Amino acid sequence: MSEITVIALDAMGGDNAPGEMVKGAVDALGREQDIKVYLLGKEDIVNAELQKYTYDKNRLEVVNTTEVIETAEPPVNAIRRKKDSSIVVGMKMVKEGKADAFVSAGSSGAILVGGQVIVGRIKGVERPPLASLIPTEKGVALLIDCGANVDARASHLVQFAKMGSIYMEHVIGIKSPKVGIVNIGAEEEKGNALVKETFPLLKEEKELNFIGSVEAREIPHGQADVIVTEAFSGNVILKLYEGVGAVLISKVKEGLMSTLRSKIGALLIKPALKSTLKSFDASEYGGAPLLGLNGLVVKTHGSSKAKEVSNTLIQCVTFKKQKINEKIRESIQSEQKSAE
Amino acid sequence: MSEITVIALDAMGGDNAPGEMVKGAVDALGREQDIKVYLLGKEDIVNAELQKYTYDKNRLEVVNTTEVIETAEPPVNAIRRKKDSSIVVGMKMVKEGKADAFVSAGSSGAILVGGQVIVGRIKGVERPPLASLIPTEKGVALLIDCGANVDARASHLVQFAKMGSIYMEHVIGIKSPKVGIVNIGAEEEKGNALVKETFPLLKEEKELNFIGSVEAREIPHGQADVIVTEAFSGNVILKLYEGVGAVLISKVKEGLMSTLRSKIGALLIKPALKSTLKSFDASEYGGAPLLGLNGLVVKTHGSSKAKEVSNTLIQCVTFKKQKINEKIRESIQSEQKSAE
């Protein structure tokens, strides 16, 4: 008998909650047998959505939570005060072993704080990074840290590289993933103080396939599989990816609509264009896990729809089956033994 | 009689030197009367290129320089040792008042070091930033600093904001330009230590039209006219802009060529698409000035062609006519007086 992955899903978080969250959960149940989902939210609202679908009631249950943390709320306060919010209840289920993972499209701040405060870190992990899959010309790369720890130190970045490598190898299936550090030049002597301090440390790590500096220009070309950086530039990269993409695509559409000739052309190219641009769409790749916690916490896009939710739930199953947290624990603890 | 702007142009720098440099210089002469260009490089090579054109010999002269600084050379050494390189000779012409500006597509490192060491800073300017014009949905924005000073301090960023505002208002012609600081959230309390320290200082500056934080996602939409950041994230933004753009456009092209139907469509949309994508092409906007020096030094893209060179030379004329350096001097020195 296969092991079941139990996931607490925040039905109240994100721009499209609860509709798309519920739809994503039902979809995941159809795709994957070894999964059980708890939908956390206001019972009556969630049940009203659920009535639209037929699904296996043994594998999908609603947990009533009466409070909602808003995106604008200061996260530390929100976590402390709203004990009956979907985020706090979901995190506690992970903490207490009632769920393997918590997935939410809600307040990033509350998810980051809750992950550290409620779920807690794996022993030895200094700072849990947020890791996001981003599309590249060759497929997909992991950007780590993309928003959890600003003003990080070199030792944190080394741990990010290790955790990111484990994730890419065992969840995404890239053998011996290439690790690069975001830098403003290709040479080792380039960079700011943090990168200069981190570079030789990464070079020393025999278990990593460290390929050196990666200039931001190379990231979309897929030069590295694991892209290590501190959270400020990581978040800038993640957001700019979306921004440049959105503006360019709207420019292309504007061009297509500009003349009669181009409008006719647009009709002809539409199907082909749609399928190539789909490969550059972040929602194909699921949410961003907060790595290094005693359990799994995943943040999906605030704008995520059912497909992203469903993909994220399936990734949680792989995360558990591949024993990612055990592997992270081993990797971080062997580091600490060798330091003793 | 109008004043002449004298520009020393590095004929040996960049991937397309000397051909495109020479062509750009000849082109600028045709577009602008009040300009004189010195072409710096190996005389015989430069003259061989010049023979292809007819031009006003009073306004275009060759200065023979026997050495060339390569991109891979450590910049400080290169500047010190290669006294007869086009970069060192050009910088000295600016320093000695023989030229108003030096323009080069050569080694970024050598240009940054040479600007500070040879040309020198305006009194009171702590760190001269590299400022690059980037395309946005609404037109163009100035990204400052995009590569000169990593690990900058809050006081540097405030000066970047002032210099950038002056440039956008008087060279690009945007009245009361909106100044934003790159941040990873819209609220004042968000950000890393540097941004948190800089934010209130920018808010206090009455002469600036400070609009607060700008998330990277908003940059391509043209939310701010002057985008202030330290050089590490600034360089990441600049390079990622190019990288995401290049990959997306190649994805679109790939989509267009994927079926017979889409190939026919591609022929119809080509002219319209070309003109809209042109508005998102960095080479339309000229090079990146290193601001705050006793003179003007401009770095153009390593891959720059005649059009970018010509546009940059015309911008140098505006820079002089609009007395940008006098305005920077006034702004920085009034700050220092009020600090006394």
In a domain, B331, yes or no: no
The answer as to whether B335 is a domain residue is no
Domain count, chain A: 2
| CATH code (residue A24) | 3.40.718.10
Q: In terms of domains, do A318 and A251 share one?
A: no
Asked if residue A17 belongs to a domain, the reply is yes
The pLDDT assigned to A340 comes to 60
Quick one: pLDDT band at residue A103, thresholds 50, 70, 90?
very high
Within-domain flag for A258: yes
* Chain B residues with CB-CB distance to A237 below 8 A: 216, 236, 240
Lowest-pLDDT range, A140-144, A305-309, B70-74?
B70-74
**pLDDT tens figures, A189-216:** 788 999 999 999 999 999 999 999 999 9
Q: pLDDT category, A245, cuts 50, 70, 90?
A: confident
Residue A250 has pLDDT above 80, yes or no: yes
A301: phi then psi, degrees, rounded to nearest 5: -55, 145
Tell me: do B169 and B262 sit in the same domain. Answer: yes
pLDDT, tens digit (0-9, with 9 covering 90-100), for A32-66: 999 999 999 999 999 999 999 999 999 999 999 99
Average pLDDT, chain B: 92
Whether B216 and A240 lie within 8 Å, measured CB to CB: yes
Nearest CA in chain A to B222: A247
Say whether both A133 and A267 belong to one domain.
Answer: yes
Asked whether the beta carbons of B306 and B27 are under 8 A apart, the reply is: yes
Nearest residue in B to A273, CA atom: B255
Q: Among partner residues A184, A239, A252, which is closest to B232 by beta-carbon distance?
A: A184
Nearest residue to A117 via CA among A68, A76, A178, A162: A76
Residue of chain B with shortest Cα separation from A279: B251
**Terminal alpha carbon distance of chain A:** 41
Q: Per the domain annotation, does B268 fall within a domain?
A: yes
Contact B245 A244 (CB under 8 A): yes
pLDDT digits (tens, 9 = 90+) for B257-293: 888 888 888 888 888 777 777 777 666 677 899 999 9
Query: For the ranges B35-49, B96-110, B244-258, which has the lowest average pLDDT?
Result: B244-258
Higher pLDDT, A4 or A186: A4
Q: Which amino acid is at B89?
A: V
- pLDDT higher than 50, residue B1: no
Distance CA A301, CA A106 (A): 8
Most B CBs within 10 A among A217, A241, A253, A274, hence the mutation to make, goes to A217
B263 and B301 in a single domain? The answer is no
**Preferred mutation among B136, B145, B269 to probe A, highest tally of A CBs within 10 A:** B269
| Residue A195 three-state SS | helix
Same domain for A156 and A267, yes or no, is yes
State whether B101 and B40 are in the same domain: yes
Residues B183 and B75 in one domain: no
**Beta strand A209-215 with A226-228: parallel, antiparallel or unpaired?**
unpaired
Residue A178 and residue A146 in contact, taking contact as beta carbons nearer than 8 Å? no
Judged by CB atoms within 8 Å, which residues 153-212 of A form the interface with B? 182, 184, 191-193, 195
Both B207 and B97 in a single domain? Answer: no
Q: What is the pLDDT of residue A272?
A: 78
Q: Same domain, yes or no, for B258 and B307?
A: no
Report the pLDDT value the prediction gives residue A286, as an integer from 0 to 100: 79
Answer for the pair B239, A215: CB distance below 8 angstroms, yes or no.
yes
pLDDT of residue A1: 44
Domain of B189, in residue numbers: 129-284
ipTM of the complex as predicted: 0.90
Cross-chain residue pair B216–A273, CB shorter than 8 Å: no
Residue B339 falls inside a structural domain = no
Strand B209-215 and strand B178-183: the pairing is: parallel
pLDDT score recorded for residue A71: 85
Measured CA to CA in angstroms, residue A210 lies from A13, A183, B22 at distances of 37, 14, 42
Is residue B37 included in any domain, yes or no? yes
Tens-digit pLDDT profile for residues A294-321? 999 999 988 899 999 999 999 999 999 9
In a domain, A154, yes or no: yes
Q: Are residues A192 and B235, on separate chains, in Cβ contact within 8 Å? A: no
Kind of pairing between the strands at A296-299 and A101-104: parallel
Question: Which pLDDT value is given to residue B9?
Answer: 98
Does the structure show a pLDDT above 60 at A182? yes
Mean pLDDT across B221-227 = 96
* pLDDT (average), residues A247-276: 83
Maximum C-alpha span of chain A? 72
Average pLDDT for B42-52: 96
Q: Do residues B113 and B175 share a domain?
A: no
Same domain? For B1 and B100 the reply is yes
- pLDDT at B35 exceeding the cut of 50: yes
Residues A240, A149 share a domain: yes
Q: Is A260 on the interface with B (CB under 8 A)?
A: no
Pick B182's closest partner by Cβ from A236, A241, A265.
Answer: A236
The burial class, CB within 10 Å (0-12 / 13-18 / 19+), for A57 is: exposed
